[in-house]
Amino acid sequence: MSRGKRPAVFMDRDGTLSHEVGYVNHPSRFRLYPWSAGAVRAINEASWLAVVVTNQAGVARGYFPETVFDEVQQRLRQNVESGGGRFDAVYACLHHPSVGEPPYRADCDCRKPRPGLLRKAESELGADLSRSWVIGDRHSDMLLAWNVGARAALVKSGYGLGELTYLAPGWSRQPDLVAENLLEAVELILNREPA
């Protein structure tokens, strides 16, 4: 382990930190889960990095302007901060490989499960990916973790219960952890791996 490097908990947004409501095409549709601020606070207190990694192709698809995305990200930060938590970074992929116009239409390296957003955290924040976890409600979040040698936790919120019940039996690799929600996942991870 190199000096100064810290493990990170990478969190998906929709279905993990906030209710899965389809495209958040207006800021009023964004609703944080009641346990999310406490989960982020627990990550802060353990001196791990707390980082959001989210795919938001709605901009590329022309469903809403980037200003809506910006405002939702601001609400996310404010909601978590008013609950005593703080993100070290909020990273998003706004691209889609085949829909829309450049610059949003792009075969980028940051659309999950591609590892670009995690690599960014590695270079900008000094995240130690080999000791890090990704928490999400979809298989692509699990693949994201495994693509960089991190571990993957599946939450049952959002699409999680459905993925776990109907799809996970067909996955060649199973999640390293399954939890009811983000807070339970964070508590299990931090108990298992003191920083």
Shortest Å, Cβ 4 to Zn ion: 28
110 is an interface residue for Zn ion by CB under 5 A: yes
Q: How far is the CB of 97 from Zn ion (least distance, A)?
A: 9
What span, in angstroms and rounded, lies between the C-alpha atoms of 24 and 167?
A: 25
Residue 168 touching Zn ion (CB under 5 A): no
Nearest to 114 by CA among 26, 163, 53: 53
User: Which CB sits closer to Zn ion, 110 or 164?
Assistant: 110
Residue 111 engages Zn ion in binding (rule: CB under 5 A)? yes
CA distances from 18 to 1, 49, 82, 84, 110 (A): 33, 19, 15, 16, 21
Nearer to Zn ion, 115 or 160 (CB): 115
* CB atoms closer than 10 angstroms to residue 83: 16
Q: How far apart, in Å, are the Cα atoms of 180 and each of 40, 124, 131, 185? A: 16, 31, 22, 7
Joined together, the tokens standing for residue 143 give 């693949």
Among 9, 93, 118, 182, binds Zn ion (CB under 5 A): 93
Active site residue 128: no
Active site residue 12: yes
Can you give the binding site for Mg ion, defined by CB under 5 A?
12, 14-15, 137
Binding residues for Zn ion, per CB under 5 A?
Answer: 93, 95, 108, 110-111
Residues with active-site annotation: 12, 14
